[in-house]
Amino acid sequence: MSPAVHLGLPAPRASLGGGGRASARLREVPAAPWSTLASDAPELAAAVAGRFAASERHVLATMTVSGAPRVSGSAVQIRHGELLVPVVLRSPKGADLAGDPRCVIHSNPGDGSMVGDVKITGRVTGLVGADGELRPHGRDAVDVLVLLESLQLSVRDQETGEITVTRWVAPEVPPLDGPAAQAAAPADAAEDLR
C-alpha cells in the first residue's frame, strides 16, 4: 500500500470537524520525524539539511481560523533527529498551529539559483497537552517538533539548466495488532522524478 500524500495546505478547518481542532482526518495522513527520513533516504536528508543550514530564515505557512494561509519567516533547525521550528504560542503563528497543526515549510529562495529548493508538508506536535490546553510557557519562543508528511527537493543543474525533483513521503505505520502489523514497510520511500 503506498503512502498517503497531500500537497500544500488542504481543506479549511470547517471540513476537519471537531469544532475547528484538527481531528481524525489528520491521523489518516502518515507523518514521521526527521530521523525516519534520515534513515530511509540519508543522501536526501543531508541535502535538505544543508539547504536549511545555508540560510537563517525560511518560510512557514500555517492556516488561520478563517482557513486562509498565513506566511511567516521562521528559523528551521534539525537537532537530534528532529525538525524543529521556534514558535511563540501567544503569536498569530502560534495560535494558528494550536488550532490546526498542519504547516508547510519552504526553504529560503535565496538568489533564485535553485541550488536546492525544499518544500515540506507536515504538522507540529507538542503544542497542546493531553488535557487539550496549550503548553504553559512565557513569551519566549519554544522549539516545536514538526512531523513530516511529504518532502520535495528541486535542484537545478547549473550547466544544463535541468531540474531534478526528488520526493519523499512518510511511510504508513501498520496497526499494532493484526496481520498488517507483520507486513513490511516500504524499504525506500524516496523516488527520483527526473
The answer to whether residue 53 sits within a structural domain is yes
For the cut 60, the answer to whether the pLDDT of residue 10 exceeds it is no
pLDDT category, 126, cuts 50, 70, 90?
Answer: confident
Give the separation between CA 81 and CA 36, rounded to whole angstroms.
Answer: 8
Residue 172 contacts by C-beta under 8 Å, 6 or more apart in sequence?
A: 1, 3, 4, 30, 185
3-state secondary structure of 41: coil
**Domain range enclosing 86:** 30-156+163-169
pLDDT digits (tens, 9 = 90+) for 162-177: 989 999 999 986 554 4
The answer to whether residue 121 sits within a structural domain is yes
The answer to whether residue 194 sits within a structural domain is no
The answer to whether residue 180 sits within a structural domain is no
The answer to whether residue 14 sits within a structural domain is no
Give me the mean pLDDT over the 141-148 stretch. Answer: 89
The answer to whether residue 116 sits within a structural domain is yes
Domain count of the fold of the chain: 1
pLDDT digits (tens, 9 = 90+) for 46-104: 999 999 998 999 999 999 989 999 999 999 999 999 999 999 888 899 889 988 999 99
User: What is the distance in angstroms between the CA of the first residue and the CA of the last residue of the chain?
Assistant: 23
* Cell numbers that stand for 176 in this block: 499494532
Q: What's 110's domain CATH number?
A: 2.30.110.10
Residue 23 and residue 11 in contact, taking contact as beta carbons nearer than 8 Å: no
What pLDDT, on the 0 to 100 scale, is given for residue 26? 52
Nearest to 103 by CA among 35, 3, 7: 7
* Cell numbers that stand for 12 in this block: 479549511
The answer to whether residue 95 sits within a structural domain is yes
